[in-house]
Amino acid sequence: NAGVMQNPRHLVRRRGQEARLRCSPMKGHSHVYWYRQLPEEGLKFMVYLQKENIIDESGMPKERFSAEFPKEGPSILRIQQVVRGDSAAYFCASSVLAGVNNEQFFGPGTRLTVL
Amino acid sequence: ILNVEQSPQSLHVQEGDSTNFTCSFPSSNFYALHWYRWETAKSPEALFVMTLNGDEKKKGRISATLNTKEGYSYLYIKGSQPEDSATYLCAFAAGTASKLTFGTGTRLQVTL
Q: Using an 8 Å Cβ cutoff, are A32 and A98 in contact? A: no
**B45-90, pLDDT tens digit by residue?**
999 999 999 999 999 999 999 999 999 999 999 999 999 999 999 9
**A52-85, pLDDT tens digit by residue?**
899 999 999 999 999 999 999 999 999 999 999 9
Burial B8-26 (b: 16+ CB within 10 A, else e): eeebebeeeeebebebbbe
Pairwise CB contact (< 8 Å): B98 & A99: yes
d(CA B51, CA A19): 37
Pairwise CB contact (< 8 Å): A42 & B102: yes
Residue A109 at interface with chain B, using a CB cutoff of 8 Å: yes
Nearest residue on chain A to B106, judged by CA atoms?
Answer: A42
Q: What confidence score (pLDDT) does residue A1 get?
A: 55
Pairwise CB contact (< 8 Å): A100 & B32: yes
d(CA A8, CA B104): 25
Q: What confidence score (pLDDT) does residue B99 get?
A: 87
d(CA B62, CA B86): 13
Q: Which residues contact B77 (CB under 8 A, 6 or more apart)?
A: B18, B19, B20, B61, B62, B84, B108
